[in-house]
Each structure stands twice: as structure tokens, then as C-alpha cells.
């Protein structure tokens, strides 16, 4: 009788802890940028309408620029693109903070646009690196689960550090601090040996890029549905606390929503990869619809908090499964771009969910918006179920990995499904279904127009 070898935690693999830490430094400011630009508009005497427009332009820049930058990275490698975009984004953020008093607040519109478009795609780069340096599917899935869990910390730490602390001095100081943190984290990440080792890819791609893969389109639908759920819930929670006459409870309830996701992500990191990633994703997305819709039944804020905790506990495991599948279904030479499309889909979903949810809260109240959030998630689950056949690796791109430094393994290309699969049987079983950075900036768009207030 053979005994299975002890499973190593993801943090024990060389480079994982360092990459996660550097990415957190670079991504934490992003979680507060939307709110910081809103505060800076008001600081310069601009209206709330202009503040909402600036925040919206920032979100559009983030959503539109990320896939373009992802494609550049797949073609030319990570380091040069990350350094250039990190410096450009940091300079425009600093410029927003250095505008002298009395300057027209409308000057923040082009600065927000450039900041969004040039925002370095640290999270997609990190996830692509995990597919490159972690040949063991359980370690890779665990690292992606840790990333999803730590994302919650950035959603909490970003607004806490840059809004509650630095913006209390002045929004200008907060923007300068965000620029320094973004530049430092991005340059350090780009200088890491793992990032510098990523070569460009000469693989010929279709004009559709990563979207040429049916599986990437399926995951884009799922991420958009999950984003719509987030956006609708955030606005509905704001409406619920307003109806209860307890607006100060909003921050507490959103934290209650995020903390269980952090804990569940840490647990998921220990459990390893499920045998059937596609089925797991569909079940988790479908399950997420239940507590989201059940929020409509809350008789008081205490019950709302309990249901939010139940909903939040499913977030990190769901995104761990989704992120794992991105590298599996992406065509070689497009994996970083594929991750950016998933992020852009969530941006779009949050914006749509927030807008629709806000209109529903105004017309029918918070319970109806909670039901809408569950419906969005259910639609995403049904779409994934009907397209389940796309959630597998393109067989034409399978290839063995090669040895990397310090006991890791490196796939022959970091930009394709081969980056997430190895010649081992375990990797094949993951490849086949048979075997708030982000939330914060989009949520800030809604903050200027609704009672609600997220790399």
C-alpha cells in the first residue's frame, strides 16, 4: 500500500511568499484610488457629479486598458511593461495630488483616465507566474486561493490606510502616498527573478487574442456575473443600513462580508485542487446565488450580517477555482491577457450591478436588489453549466514543463494553457473537467451616486 506524500503548503515553495507580498504592496493603493480621486475632486471644489465622472473614467480606463497591457506582456514579457506602466500610473497619481489649490477639478479627468489605462496588471502577472513556477496543481490552486484571500485584505487595507489615515491629512497627501506605494511595489515585483525570467512569446495569435478560446469567454461571463452580484449587494447593503437609520453600520457589514472570504481562502489553500475544476466552479457560483438572494429575507441588520458572512465565505474559493481554470483554458501565448479579461469582466459586472441595484433600491427597496444579485449569480452559473465543455485545456497546446530554479518547475511558455499544466498525471486531471483592486475602483463609481461607498 503506497502512502501519499505530505502536501506542501503554497508558501513553502520558493518565491510564492515574496511574490504575494510584493503584489499586495502594489495592489493595495488600487483599492482606494476611486475614492481618493472623488475626495480630490471635492478638495478642489468640484461637484459630486464631476467626482462621479472622474471615478467612472478611472474605472473605464482600468477595464479597457488591462487586456491591452496583458497582450503586451504576453508578447514582450513582464518586466518592461510593468516598469513602464508602474511609472506612468504613479506619475499621474502624483500629478493629481500635486495640483495646486484653485486648479480646475476637471483636470483630474484626463489624469484619472491615464491612471486607469496604465494601471500595471500586477494580479494577472502574479497568477500567470504561479502557473509558470508551480507545476504541482495542488500548490498552484492553493497559491491562487491565497491570492483571492489576500485580495480581501487589500480591499480593507487600501481604504483604511489611504482614505481613513492619509486622506484625513489631505486627499493630496493620500494620492502621493498611493503613488509611492504603487511605484515601489510594481518596480520590486518587476525586478523579482521570477518576473524577469518570463520571456516574450512569438506564438501567432488571432486578432481576438485571449478571447479566441471558448473557455476564456465562459469565464468572462462568470466573472461578470459575480461582479454584478458584488455591485448589487454593495448598493443594497447601503440601502438597507439607510432604511434602518444606521448608516455607520455600512463599513462594519462590508467587513463582515469580506473577512469570511479571507478565512475561506486560507482554508482552500490548505485543501488543494479539486479533481474537477469546472464542476467545482459551477457548483460554487450556483451556491453563491443562494445566500445572495436570501439577503432579501433579513429582518434586521444582525441577520443581514450573518447572511453576508455566509455569502462572503464562498467568494475566495470561487475565484480560486476560476483563476485556476483561466490558465487551463487559455491558448498558449495569451494567459496574462486572459487573466486581465476576467478582471475587466468583473469591473463591468460591478458597474452594471451597482447601477441596476441602485435603481432597484430607489424604486423597490434593498430586498429586491438582493434578489437581483442572486439572479445575476445564478445566470452566471447556468451559463457556465451550459458551456461546461469549454472548461478544459486545448489538447493541441499540452507540453511538458522544464526544471526551474530552487526546485520549482517552469513551463516552456508562460503565456498559454501549457503554463498551467505539466506532464504529470495530476496536472492532467486538473486540466480536464472529467478527471474588491478591483472591486474598490468600480465600487467608487457607485459611491458618488448612491449611498454606498473597493489590484
DSSP string, 74-136: HHH-HHHHHHHHHHHHHHHHHHHHHPPTT--GGGHHHHHHHHHHT---HHHHHHHHHHHH--S
**Average pLDDT of the segment spanning 148-163:** 80
Q: What is the structure's pLDDT at 193? A: 93
Nearest of 123, 124, 180, 133 to residue 155 by alpha carbon? 123
Nearest of 366, 348, 380 to residue 242 by alpha carbon? 366
User: Is 452 among the domain residues?
Assistant: no
Q: What is the structure's pLDDT at 5? A: 47
Q: What is the structure's pLDDT at 205? A: 66
User: Is 156 among the domain residues?
Assistant: yes
pTM over 0.85? The answer is: no
Question: Is a pLDDT exceeding 50 seen at residue 450?
Answer: no
How many Cα atoms sit within 13 Å of 428 on the Cβ side? 7
Report the domain count for the chain: 1
Q: What is the structure's pLDDT at 216? A: 93
User: Is 135 among the domain residues?
Assistant: yes
Contact between 59 and 111 under an 8 Å Cβ cutoff? The reply is no
The Cβ of residue 208 has, within 10 Å, a number of other Cβ atoms equal to 12
The most confident of 125-129, 355-359, 391-395, by mean pLDDT: 125-129
The Cβ of residue 323 has, within 10 Å, a number of other Cβ atoms equal to 27
Q: What is the structure's pLDDT at 405? A: 41
User: Is 1 among the domain residues?
Assistant: no
Q: Quick one: what percent of the chain has pLDDT higher than 70? A: 83
User: Is 5 among the domain residues?
Assistant: no
Question: Is a pLDDT exceeding 90 seen at residue 94?
Answer: yes
User: Is 101 among the domain residues?
Assistant: yes
Give the Cα separation of 348 and 342 in Å (integer): 10
Q: How many residues are present in the chain? A: 455
Question: Is a pLDDT exceeding 90 seen at residue 407?
Answer: no
Which has the higher per-residue pLDDT, 6 or 381?
Answer: 381
pLDDT of 201-219, one tens digit each? 766 667 778 898 999 999 9
Q: Can you say whether the dihedral through the CA atoms of 255, 281, 426, 409 is positive or negative?
A: negative
Which has the higher per-residue pLDDT, 168 or 319?
Answer: 319
Q: What is the structure's pLDDT at 31? A: 80
**Average pLDDT of the segment spanning 284-292:** 92
Question: Is a pLDDT exceeding 60 seen at residue 451?
Answer: no
Domain CATH number, residue 47: 1.20.1250.20
The gap between the terminal CA atoms of the chain, to the nearest Å, is: 46
| Structural domain harbouring 187 | 14-200+208-447
User: Is 378 among the domain residues?
Assistant: yes
**Average pLDDT of the segment spanning 262-291:** 88
Place of cell 463609481: 445
User: Is 376 among the domain residues?
Assistant: yes
Q: What is the structure's pLDDT at 91? A: 97
pLDDT of 117-139, one tens digit each? 999 999 999 999 998 888 888 88
Amino acid at each position: 500500500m503506497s502512502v501519499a506524500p505530505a502536501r506542501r503548503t503554497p508558501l513553502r515553495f520558493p518565491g510564492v511568499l515574496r511574490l504575494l507580498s510584493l503584489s499586495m504592496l502594489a495592489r493595495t493603493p488600487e483599492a482606494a484610488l476611486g475614492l481618493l480621486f472623488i475626495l480630490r475632486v471635492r478638495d478642489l471644489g468640484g461637484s459630486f457629479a464631476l467626482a462621479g465622472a472622474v471615478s467612472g473614467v478611472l474605472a473605464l480606463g482600468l477595464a479597457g486598458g488591462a487586456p491591452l497591457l496583458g497582450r503586451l506582456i504576453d508578447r514582450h514579457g513582464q518586466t518592461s511593461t510593468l516598469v513602464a506602466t508602474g511609472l506612468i500610473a504613479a506619475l499621474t497619481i502624483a500629478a493629481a495630488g500635486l495640483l495646486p489649490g484653485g486648479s480646475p477639478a476637471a483636470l483630474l479627468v484626463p489624469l484619472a483616465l491615464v491612471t486607469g489605462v496604465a494601471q500595471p496588471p500586477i494580479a494577472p502577472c502574479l497568477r500567470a507566474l504561479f502557473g509558470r513556477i508551480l507545476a504541482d496543481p495542488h500548490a498552484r490552486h492553493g497559491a491562487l486561493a491565497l491570492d483571492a484571500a489576500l485580495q480581501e485584505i487589500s480591499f480593507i487595507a487600501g481604504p483604511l490606510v489611504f482614505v481613513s489615515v492619509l486622506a484625513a491629512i489631505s486627499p493630496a497627501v493620500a494620492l502621493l502616498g498611493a503613488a509611492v506605494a504603487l511605484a515601489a511595489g510594481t518596480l520590486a515585483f518587476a525586478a523579482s527573478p521570477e518576473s524577469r525570467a518570463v520571456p516574450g512569446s512569438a506564438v501567432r495569435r488571432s486578432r481576438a487574442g485571449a478571447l479566441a478560446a471558448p473557455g476564456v469567454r465562459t469565464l468572462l461571463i462568470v466573472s461578470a456575473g459575480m461582479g454584478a452580484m458584488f455591485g448589487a449587494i454593495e448598493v443594497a447593503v447601503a440601502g438597507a443600513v439607510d432604511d434602518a437609520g444606521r448608516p455607520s453600520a455600512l463599513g462594519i457589514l462590508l467587513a463582515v462580508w469580506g473577512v469570511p472570504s479571507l478565512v475561506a481562502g486560507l482554508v482552500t489553500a490548505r485543501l488543494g485542487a479539486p479533481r474537477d475544476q469546472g464542476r467545482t466552479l459551477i457548483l460554487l457560483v450556483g451556491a453563491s446565488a443562494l445566500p445572495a438572494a436570501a439577503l432579501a429575507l433579513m429582518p434586521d441588520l444582525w441577520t443581514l450580517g450573518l447572511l453576508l458572512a455566509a455569502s462572503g465565505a464562498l467568494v475566495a474559493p470561487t475565484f480560486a477555482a476560476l483563476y485556476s481554470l483561466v490558465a487551463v483554458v487559455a491558448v498558449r501565448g495569451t494567459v496574462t491577457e486572459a487573466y486581465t479579461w476576467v478582471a475587466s469582466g468583473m469591473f463591468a459586472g460591478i458597474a452594471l450591478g451597482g447601477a441596476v441595484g441602485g435603481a432597484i433600491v430607489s424604486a423597490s427597496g434593498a430586498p429586491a436588489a438582493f434578489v437581483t444579485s442572486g439572479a445575476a449569480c445564478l445566470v452566471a452559473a447556468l451559463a457556465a453549466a451550459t458551456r461546461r465543455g469549454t472548461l478544459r485545456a486545448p489538447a493541441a497546446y499540452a507540453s511538458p514543463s522544464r526544471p526551474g530554479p530552487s526546485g520549482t518547475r517552469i513551463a516552456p511558455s508562460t503565456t498559454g494553457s501549457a503554463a498551467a499544466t505539466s506532464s504529470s498525471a495530476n496536472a492532467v486531471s486538473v486540466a480536464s473537467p472529467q478527471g474588491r483592486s478591483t472591486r474598490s475602483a468600480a465600487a467608487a463609481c457607485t459611491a458618488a451616486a448612491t449611498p454606498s461607498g473597493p489590484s
